[in-house]
Amino acid sequence: MTNLVIHHHLSDRASLDSALVAAWDDAAGVSVADVHLLGGGPRHQDAALVLVDHVASDDEAEVVAAAVLDLAQRVPTLVLGAALTMLPAVAEASGVDHGEWTPRHEVRVRPEPGVDPRRLGDVLLAERLLVAEKVADDVMTLATANVAYVEHPAVTWRQSSGVAALLVDGAPDTWQDRELLRFVGHVLGVVGGRRDAGDVRVGMIGY
């Protein structure tokens, strides 16, 4: 079982807390541990998921980015595309040189061979994709998405920094998708060193 903690810096924490907890709680094999402030929560975790939807200033961006990078030094940490656009230091650590967002459309996220031993299959999302224009040589592409007949990285992992990236926006309704929750749990199990990721235990930490 992968012990996952969700760290978030969200403008509407109360409603998203409820949505996230309900979605994870409804997904088979997932249990929600609790909600904690940043710096609290479980001391032992196998992987982390970071959700960021705003920063008010460059100073705040530096503080949030430092917290994310500190976390990534301790456990594999998955960030969404929105965090990369707002936190340049995290984007640099991810090794993903990103371009612009696509319009919101049906995105088919396809795991790379070897990442999907349980044959979870593709994940279809109504989302925006942050186009990766270039990735560093030591970045692994764990899943791709097709945009205008070109395959682009959709999920990446950089072991040297401990940062993985899911290059979608992460709209609230995205987290109601059970298949996405299973996929995220599986990816975090993979980057955490568990190739056959099983059930996922979830906690949430707010910033």
Nearest-angstrom CA–CA distance, 174 and 157: 21
Q: What is the pLDDT of residues 54-70, one digit of tens each?
A: 888 999 899 889 988 98
Is the full-model pTM beyond 0.75? yes
Structure confidence at residue 12 as a pLDDT band (50, 70, 90): low
To the nearest whole number, what is the mean pLDDT of the chain? 78
For 19, which DSSP code? H
pLDDT digits (tens, 9 = 90+) for 16-56: 556 566 665 555 444 555 444 444 455 566 777 888 888 88
Q: What is the pLDDT of residue 195?
A: 44
**Mean pLDDT across 78-96:** 93
At 176 the pLDDT is: 76
Least confident of 39-48, 80-89, 181-190: 39-48
Name, in order, each residue with C-beta under 8 angstroms of 135's C-beta and a sequence gap of 6 or more.
95, 96, 97, 141, 153, 156
Q: Which amino acid is at 40?
A: G
d(CA 178, CA 26): 8
Type of residue found at 73: Q
pLDDT tens, residue by residue, 92-141: 999 999 999 999 988 899 888 767 656 667 888 889 999 999 999 999 99
More reliable by pLDDT, 176 or 71: 71
- DSSP run (H or E) holding 70: helix 58-74
| pLDDT for position 175 | 76
Higher-pLDDT residue of 171 and 160 is: 160
163 vs 50, residue with greater confidence: 163
